[in-house]
Chain A
Amino acid sequence: MSEFIGFPPSLIYIFGALLIPFLHGKLKKAYMLLIPVVCFLILMNLGITEEPEWVYSLLTFGDSYNIILGRVDELSRVFGYIFILITFIGLIYAINIDDDMQYMAGLIYAGGALGVTFAGDLFSLYIFWEVMAVASTFLILARRRKESQSAAFRYILIHVIGGLFLLAGIVLYVNEHNTTEFCVRTATSFLNPLKLNSLSSYLMFIGIAVNAAIPPLHGWLKDAYPEATFTGSVFLSAFTTKSAVYIMARMFFGTEALIYLGAFMTCYPIFFAEVENDMRRVLSYSLMNQVGFMMCGIGIGTQLALNGTVSHAFAHILYKALLFMSVGAVLHVTGKIKATDLGGLYKTMPITAFLCIIGAMSISAFPLTSGFISKSMIISAAGDSGQGMGYSGFMLAWLMLQFASAGVIAHAGIKVPFFTFFGHDSGLKAKEPPKNMLLAMGIAGFLCIFIGVRFDLLYNILPFPEVANAYVPYSGSHVVNQLQLLMFGVFAFYLMLRAGRYPSELRAINLDLDWFYRKGSAIFYRLIDFGFNGINLVFDNIFAKKMTGALGEVSKNIPARVVLFFAIPMRIATGINKEELEKMKANVYSIFEHSVAPIGLSAAVAGIFIALMILISW
């Protein structure tokens, strides 16, 4: 067994990707699809390890730091499975694009996510974190359009800043704890989260929050994802935010602030998605909304909540990829992605439309789909905690989550399929996408339903399987309540649409917080230009022009001044009048100006200087 588990999946992905340019045709396709298959088998074979695998020692200045590439425990294993599964589906979807840059970027990016997931030390965590940031940027650049290039530039800039926060936190953490290992398994639990109370923890929290797109740090997501290639956005939707969810759960499980940040995060993007014209931007906002549920679950901090978070991440990756794949297929076939250009495509793309509806139903958490059996756990956990706290605890969070659940049906559940495949007929000439794309969507669609029905299979690999198996998603009240919530949401949509109250599709964009670094940055630049150059001018005047002259004047006379400093008090003590004092001063200055001071005097002055220096530096 130990021979078989020779390599960490993250490294297989990253180094495996480097071979891609050397292969061609069918061999290349087979090779790429083999990578996730091999890694999946490795992970299955490994099982849950009490002690981490793939531990390497790094010697620096006598200190030994461990590089741990294989912390495969109850929490990381399930993330590993879904990351590998989604690369397999994503690769099938992309297998015919024949763009090595995207294949390599996609695999290295996924490898980075796997590295982050299985990292047991902060050093490798940070390396893989940055690998993800850089590799994912290429999935945006690969679209090879001007807009994509600027978006990619902004994207990497934000992630570099986020990465620096993480790095600063890591450096402080290592300094405080004298180890790079974090959240090490204890005798009683695999979970050993940090407390959000020190500077290092705050910095790491912010770094992770950037990748998780927690408002107000979310601008990059809605800015960049819609600019990626149609295959790239499938990968992007899976890894960056979900690996951040994993690390957040690992490090800050039970941090109360996350309950409210998460609840806010579920509600905030709904309104923007509702009036957004670009379908992939609608999906980006809805991605934030879903990650909000996970953040809230992490904050609640019960076993049920963590199960809900992890299963929701698992389910979400599948249905969000399915949605990105189906609108990506529309973009690929028609070249259009805006609601104003689309509509009526169910006639020409019925299979894509059908699969898109499955994705939309899953994200809306209809019973019998994966979203239902995962999201309901988080909301139940919020409710449970409320009960214990005399109907007050997480009441607000619970209401916000339910509100956001209803909001999902409005913006993702109906809007995406309705305005793409139904609504007004755009008259676009379209056809079904190539078979490989349909196959990838088919697998994802099948899994969305399969997990919704055979939820026990997913529940068994969750962090707390006993708690998960004791949970009954399909109780009468659960099913009916959820159906009421959704169907009456649809009813509201229908009435508003008929009454002409629904926000019409418009060729327009809506401002969000990314304004601050897109437009605001220009204003900021002017402010900085004015501010700093102003300061520069003032300092130039004070230091360069006036002070140097003054300093030169002072330093020129230093020996004389030192002598007088000692001589004058002595003379005054021995009795001297004002006139004689002035005469002595002039005399001393003249001596030093003409360098005719007795050597002894100069030496004495130098000696005092040295003595002073030694005293100061003592």
Chain B
Amino acid sequence: MEDNKTGFFDKPKNIRVMLAFFFITLIGLVVIDFLYIEQHPKFVWDGAHGFFAAFGFAACVMVITISKILRFFLKREENYYE
């Protein structure tokens, strides 16, 4: 009966609560950056507050998009090498 057990993430309420925490963290990180953090930039661009938030978001979107394109060309059947 193990696999019929309702897990923590099967309850929509739990997911809602976690997502709420997640979004608060996101907003909090940017707010703290603007209010309290003194940046020590190494280059011209990375001193801007929120730079790393934008960079991280853009980078992950890029990674996911490029890898989808890559898969379009490189995907083969599982038994391709056999």
Which A residues are closer than 8 A to B by beta carbons? 270-272, 274-275, 344, 346-348, 380, 383-384, 386-387, 391, 395, 398, 402-403, 406-407, 409-411, 422, 425, 427-429, 431, 475-477, 480-494, 496, 501-503, 506-512, 518-519
Contact sample, A vs B, 18 pairs, CB 8 Å cutoff: A270-B63, A272-B67, A275-B67, A387-B42, A398-B43, A402-B52, A406-B56, A406-B60, A407-B60, A477-B38, A480-B52, A484-B50, A488-B57, A492-B56, A503-B68, A508-B78, A509-B76, A518-B81
The total of chain B residues at the interface (CB under 8 A) is: 50
List of 6 A-B pairs having minimum Cβ-Cβ separation, nearest first: A383-B42, A406-B59, A492-B60, A274-B67, A485-B56, A484-B53
A346 touching B67 in the complex, CB below 8 Å, given contacts A407-B59, A487-B29, A488-B57: no
Chain B 25-55 residues near chain A, CB threshold 8 A: 25-26, 29-30, 32-33, 36-40, 42-44, 46, 50-55
The answer to whether A346 touches B8, judged by C-beta atoms less than 8 angstroms apart, is: yes
The answer to whether A501 touches B64, judged by C-beta atoms less than 8 angstroms apart, is: yes
Give per-residue flags for B64-79: 1 if the beta carbon is below 8 A from chain A beta carbons, else 0.
1111101100111110
Residues from chain A with a CB closer than 8 A to the CB of B75 are 275, 506, 508-510
A602 to B66, CA, bound (A): 83
Residues from chain B with a CB closer than 8 A to the CB of A425 are 3, 7
Contact of B7 among A346, A380, A429, A508 (CB under 8 A): A346
Contact of B26 among A270, A491, A518, A519 (CB under 8 A): A491
> What is the CB-to-nearest-CB distance from B1 to chain A, in angstroms, rounded to a whole number?
11
The answer to whether A493 touches B32, judged by C-beta atoms less than 8 angstroms apart, is: no
Which B residues are closer than 8 A to A by beta carbons? 2-3, 5, 7-9, 22, 25-26, 29-30, 32-33, 36-40, 42-44, 46, 50-68, 70-71, 74-78, 80-81
Residues from chain B with a CB closer than 8 A to the CB of A380 are 42
Contact of A429 among B3, B8, B56 (CB under 8 A): B3
The answer to whether A484 touches B7, judged by C-beta atoms less than 8 angstroms apart, is: no
Residues from chain A with a CB closer than 8 A to the CB of B58 are 492
In chain B, what residue has the closest Cβ to A387?
B42
A429 to B38, CA, bound (A): 51
The answer to whether B33 touches A386, judged by C-beta atoms less than 8 angstroms apart, is: no
Most buried by A among B5, B43, B63, B76: B63
Residues from chain A with a CB closer than 8 A to the CB of B66 are 271
The answer to whether A271 touches B63, judged by C-beta atoms less than 8 angstroms apart, is: yes
Residues from chain A with a CB closer than 8 A to the CB of B56 are 406, 409, 484-489, 492
In chain B, what residue has the closest Cβ to A384?
B42
The answer to whether B60 touches A477, judged by C-beta atoms less than 8 angstroms apart, is: no
> What is the CB-to-nearest-CB distance from B43 to chain A, in angstroms, rounded to a whole number?
6
Most buried by B among A403, A406, A508, A511: A406
The answer to whether B60 touches A507, judged by C-beta atoms less than 8 angstroms apart, is: no
> What is the CB-to-nearest-CB distance from B35 to chain A, in angstroms, rounded to a whole number?
11
Residues from chain B with a CB closer than 8 A to the CB of A477 are 37-40
Residues from chain B with a CB closer than 8 A to the CB of A475 are 40
The answer to whether B76 touches A508, judged by C-beta atoms less than 8 angstroms apart, is: yes
A391 to B74, CA, bound (A): 37
A503 touching B78 in the complex, CB below 8 Å, given contacts A347-B5, A476-B36: no
In chain A, what residue has the closest Cβ to B81?
A518
Most buried by B among A410, A477, A486: A477
The answer to whether A411 touches B63, judged by C-beta atoms less than 8 angstroms apart, is: yes
The answer to whether A510 touches B50, judged by C-beta atoms less than 8 angstroms apart, is: no
The answer to whether B40 touches A429, judged by C-beta atoms less than 8 angstroms apart, is: no
The answer to whether A489 touches B29, judged by C-beta atoms less than 8 angstroms apart, is: no
> What is the CB-to-nearest-CB distance from B20 to chain A, in angstroms, rounded to a whole number?
13
The answer to whether B60 touches A410, judged by C-beta atoms less than 8 angstroms apart, is: yes
The answer to whether A391 touches B67, judged by C-beta atoms less than 8 angstroms apart, is: no
A511 touching B74 in the complex, CB below 8 Å, given contacts A407-B59, A407-B63, A476-B36: yes
Most buried by B among A270, A271, A407, A427: A271
The answer to whether B55 touches A485, judged by C-beta atoms less than 8 angstroms apart, is: yes
The answer to whether A271 touches B67, judged by C-beta atoms less than 8 angstroms apart, is: yes
Most buried by A among B66, B75, B81: B81
The answer to whether A508 touches B50, judged by C-beta atoms less than 8 angstroms apart, is: no
A506 to B32, CA, bound (A): 40
